[in-house]
Amino acid sequence: MDYVIEMLNITKDFPGIRANDDVTLQVKKGEIHALLGENGAGKSTLMSILFGLYKPNKGQIKVNGKEVNIDNPHVANDLGIGMVHQHFKLVENFTVTENIILGDEPKKSFGRVDIEKARKRVKETSEKYGLSVDPDSKIEDISVGMQQRVEISKMLYRDAEILIFDEPTAVLTPQEIDDLMNIMRTFAKEGKSIILITHKLKEIKAVADTCTVLRRGKMIGSVNVADVTEKDLAEMMVGREVFFQVDKPERKQGKKIVEIKKLNVKDNRGLMAVNNLSLDIHAGEILGLAGIDGNGQTELIEALSGLRKIDSGSIALNDEDISNRSIRKITEAGVGHIPQDRHKYGLVLDFRLDENLVLQTYYKEPNSVRGILKHDEITKKAQQIIDEFDVRSGQGAMTVARSMSGGNQQKAIIGREIDRSPDFLIAAQPTRGLDVGAIEYIHSRLVAEREKERAILMISLELDEILNISDRIAVIYEGEIVGILDPKKTDEKEIGLMMSGSKRVGVANE
Amino acid sequence: MSKIKKLLLDETKYKITVPIIAILLSFLIGTIVMLLTGINPLGAFKALARTMTGINFDKLFTDKMFNARYVGEFLTTALPITLTGLSVAFAFRTGLFNIGAEGQLLVGAMAATVTSIMLDLPAIIHLPIVILSAALAGALWGFVPGILKAKYNVHEVVVTIMMNYTALHMTNYLLKKLPGSSLIKTVKSNPSGTLQSDFIASITNNSRLHWGIIVVGLSILVFWYIIEKTSFGFELRSVGFNPDASKYAGMKVTRNVMFSMMIAGAFAGLAGAMLSIGTFDYGRILVGFENYGFDGIAVALLGGNVAIGVLLSGLLFGGLKSAQPLMQANGVPLEIAKIISSLIVLFVAMKYGFEMWLRTYAKKQEEEGK
Ligand SMILES: Nc1ncnc2c1ncn2[C@@H]1O[C@H](COP(=O)(O)OP(=O)(O)OP(=O)(O)O)[C@@H](O)[C@H]1O
Ligand SMILES: [Mg+2]
């Protein structure tokens, strides 16, 4: 057989959990091989083994038919294996070129780094594959999508022939996803082999040739993508039927919970990112906010949750002005926030899961009494959220958040915020990185909050999701609301036009 | 043997195994250095053992076998560096690097001397006032970098280094101004306002050990309690790990930074009292730093910034420090003790290297096992 990669009967144990249990993965040359599985199924672990980050307890790895021992990422590099991790590994205040050559610097005399030579090569590969990375920008100044291309360039710079992508599309906008798919196809045509981890079945159908499915560490099977439907894949992975549509009873708009009036907010560079924005959110509704990334969504959310000062205008919650109040006051007034960036804001990665689950309530009874932590109560609360939201990890409430799988970290944050059942819940890309089963559950919980007369603002880059669960859709463009739509009377095309600023509905033109 | 192996391979225990390996390795290298330079290493070990236990291994089973004074002196040395260790560790748990323990110690020492000399009260009120004033002075010295960091984001390392020099010159100046001070020291402190104890001296064969041992014991408990048991400690740890998430969760990050520096300062201030009204009974005018602050950094580093760790590593560094005269008497240059202390710091600082090494070792064991 002409497999480039064979991982045979791999088993890997972590404290309290068997992350991979006798898993076999075989990748052919020039194919795009998808790896599918629930959150915590062991996908990232399997790939980390292939990349030399973990050593399996059992099993064998063959590259081009030869058995190899991949001790560390250097060995993987030498074998032509490259990886783009679920959470990028870039040095923020280094330039693109510096990041790409890090650990493999071209040298001139006296061991000096030949940055010019490196720059040239980075530029060449970028042009060849249409990556359009600027070799001289600093990482902290470029978008997430661009950072990902830097990670891709890093693999290409090291002449990788086997490219591993761990959930590359979770952080991308729909347009960027299309571009990435095309880039991957080009690679495959050139004979490079790709392993793609993604939770989005659509993407698997679009680019992958083969798909291997994992469930709770075990391999369920490997299928030819052309022979199966998205529904088949979902069932293979979850082990039951999955409903992509949520049941959402009709209901009348309740009273006004949130009133945003003439809001202006500046971004980090001091430019106006939210422009004179007015918006009401009512009890018992999910308001979906659609927009192309970078049109003021982030600044709006941060202003609503108190993370960012507002420039002018007002935000009222239950008829009480909460603009520019402290974050604690806003939280206590009844605002919950599922943040976009889970590692920056959502979690203290070095805290245990139970500590993370009381991050806003640790000081309140019963978690604390007169300033003294009640560990038993905290663990009890944590356990309840863990059970309800099916947060999977090695050591339950005692697991250090850093060691949890990406999707389970996300489930923990969502669980924490929904469990507090705030009057106003801001959900920024809540289902990013979740498997279809988990998405189904989270959607149903959001709908349940709506039944409890809560107001929910959901920001998503995915129009499917917006159309699927919103009661109303607000479209944001350059920091302004350019239209409010009824999801039953609109479609992706109309929203798309509005997102790009070519159409306005129901709001006055300037 | 296999039990030790198991312990070595347990990743969750690296916090304990790595410092122990660092210590053992340092002693091993120290021994090799002595052997290479023709010094009998036994002399060094005997000196250290005698310092820390009071037992003279050359005179076992004679009436000269045990001398409690050594233990007393050893503890006396360990007290201030354990407290500066707590100081550095406390700040570190909030993500701050307190290089200023030295200066905080100096103002604490001065405050204790001043209140001890100037006030005349019954011991039961006097002593607590003296100790409290040392803690407060240290806290004040920590407040300055704390507030500068909190309000203007000035880096605490820069400010605390400057504050160290300010403290040195200011305390020297003020101590000299006290009535009756000479060029090198102040007058004796009031007996009601010192930690010195005839009782402890009597049971430790006239060592300089003093009631400060109780202050240190309580400080360790307070450190542990605040950090692990209170919601305030929860916030401090959270801010130390991830200031952004702490802000998101509604914690007042800047306020916590300030409090943390003040509490760290208070611990160092108490360390000052250990010296000025404990080891000595007068205020000393210093020609330069005595590096208790830097010792504190080493103690905190080896102790992993947790209360019990700081206690144990404070004892070890205290032992190495106070064993130096005995080593010299045994024909071992006192630099040997310094070499070993420095190696410990070096190896602990290299803990990631050790962890990697342990992991590789673990893998090998596994492969051989199957
Ligand atoms: N370094 C680690 N230490 C301890 N446990 C770990 C570690 N890495 C992963 N695990 C555990 O192994 C299991 C599999 O994790 P992995 O990250 O491979 O999942 P995944 O399939 O990538 O999930 P997701 O879709 O959520 O990213 C999880 O239960 C996780 O808690
Ligand atoms: Mg993963």
Residues B91-102 have pLDDT tens digits of 999 999 999 999
Whether B3 contacts chain A with CB within 8 A: no
Per residue in A472-494, pLDDT (tens digit) is 999 999 999 999 999 999 988 89
- Mean pLDDT of the residues in chain A: 92
pLDDT value at residue A506: 66
* CATH class belonging to A243-334+424-435+455-510: alpha beta
Identical fold, A5-238 and A243-334+424-435+455-510: yes
Cα separation, A333 vs A321, whole angstroms:
10
A5-238 is classed CATH 3.40.50.300 = yes
The owner of tokens 């599309």 is A169
Residue A24 burial (C-beta neighbours within 10 Å; 0-12, 13-18, 19+): middle
Annotated domain spans of chain A = 5-238, 243-334+424-435+455-510, 339-421
pLDDT value at residue A320: 94
Q: How far is CA B104 from CA A186, B87, B134, B161, in A?
A: 63, 9, 9, 11
CB contact under 8 A, A371 and B244: no
Indicate which ligand has the atom closest to the C-alpha of A49: 1
pLDDT tier, A50 (very low <50, low <70, confident <90, very high otherwise): very high
Q: How far is CA A381 from the centre of its chain?
A: 26
pLDDT value at residue A507: 62
pLDDT value at residue A140: 82
Q: Note whether A436 and A237 are within 8 A (CB).
A: yes
Annotated domain spans of chain B = 80-315
Per residue in B167-183, pLDDT (tens digit) is 999 999 999 999 988 98
Q: Closest by alpha carbon to A379, among A399, A404, A394?
A: A399
For ligand 1, whether the C-beta of A403 sits within 6 Å is yes
CB contact under 8 A, A350 and B241: yes
Q: Note whether A329 and A323 are within 8 A (CB).
A: no
For ligand 1, whether the C-beta of A437 sits within 6 Å is no
Whole-prediction pTM value?
Answer: 0.89
Residue B178, helix vs strand vs coil:
coil
**β-bridge pairing A455-459 and A424-428:** parallel
Cα separation, A223 vs A200, whole angstroms:
16
pLDDT tier, B358 (very low <50, low <70, confident <90, very high otherwise): confident
Residue type for position A194: I
Residue A24, helix vs strand vs coil:
strand
End-to-end alpha-carbon separation of chain B, Å? 19
Q: State the complex-level ipTM.
A: 0.88
> B346-360: b or e for each residue (b if 16 or more CB lie within 10 Å)?
ebbeebeebeeebee
Q: How far is CA A272 from the centre of its chain?
A: 27
Looking at residues B98-125, what average pLDDT do you find? 95
For ligand 1, whether the C-beta of A17 sits within 6 Å is yes
Cα separation, A211 vs A207, whole angstroms:
11
Distance A412 CA to ligand 1 centre (A): 14
pLDDT value at residue A510: 41
Of the residues A67, A348, A416, the best mutation for testing chain B's interface (the one with the most B CB atoms within 10 Å of its CB) is A348
Which of A85-89, B6-10, B208-212, B260-264 bottoms out in mean pLDDT, i.e. has the lowest? B6-10
Q: Which residues pair with A425 in a beta bridge?
A: A336, A456
Sign of CA dihedral B243, B247, B249, B252: positive
Looking at residues B217-234, what average pLDDT do you find? 96
Cα separation, B245 vs B95, whole angstroms:
14
Cα separation, A37 vs A197, whole angstroms:
9
The owner of tokens 């036994």 is B42
pLDDT tier, B59 (very low <50, low <70, confident <90, very high otherwise): confident
The owner of tokens 């909190």 is B150
Residue A318, helix vs strand vs coil:
coil
For residue B189, give the DSSP letter. P
- Mean pLDDT of the residues in chain B: 91
Which of A9-18, A75-84, A119-128, A356-365 bottoms out in mean pLDDT, i.e. has the lowest? A119-128
Of A405, A413, A431, A434, best ligand 1 pocket probe by most atoms within 8 Å of the beta carbon = A405
Looking at residues B198-214, what average pLDDT do you find? 93
pLDDT tier, B27 (very low <50, low <70, confident <90, very high otherwise): very high
Q: Is residue B277 pLDDT above 90, yes or no?
A: yes
Which of A160-164, B16-20, B116-120 bottoms out in mean pLDDT, i.e. has the lowest? B16-20
Cα separation, A279 vs A290, whole angstroms:
14
Closest CB to B242 among A332, A339, A348: A348
Cα separation, B353 vs B334, whole angstroms:
29
Whether a cis peptide bond, with omega within 30° of 0, leads into A366 is: yes
The owner of tokens 């990375």 is A133
User: Who wins on pLDDT, A95 or B351?
Assistant: A95
pLDDT-above-90 percentage for chain A: 73
Atom 8 of ligand 1 has which residue's CA nearest to it?
A: A403
Of A12, A13, A14, A84, best ligand 1 pocket probe by most atoms within 8 Å of the beta carbon = A14
pLDDT value at residue A1: 58
Sequence-ordered alpha helix ranges (H) in B94-180 = 101-118, 123-152, 156-177
Per residue in B299-322, pLDDT (tens digit) is 999 999 999 999 999 999 999 999
For ligand 1, whether the C-beta of A41 sits within 6 Å is yes
A159 contacts: CB under 8 Å, gap ≥ 6: A80
Distance A40 CA to ligand 1 centre (A): 5
CB contact under 8 A, A328 and B252: yes
Q: Is residue A416 pLDDT above 50, yes or no?
A: yes
Closest CB to A372 among B230, B237, B366: B230
pLDDT value at residue A509: 45
Looking at residues A340-368, what average pLDDT do you find? 94
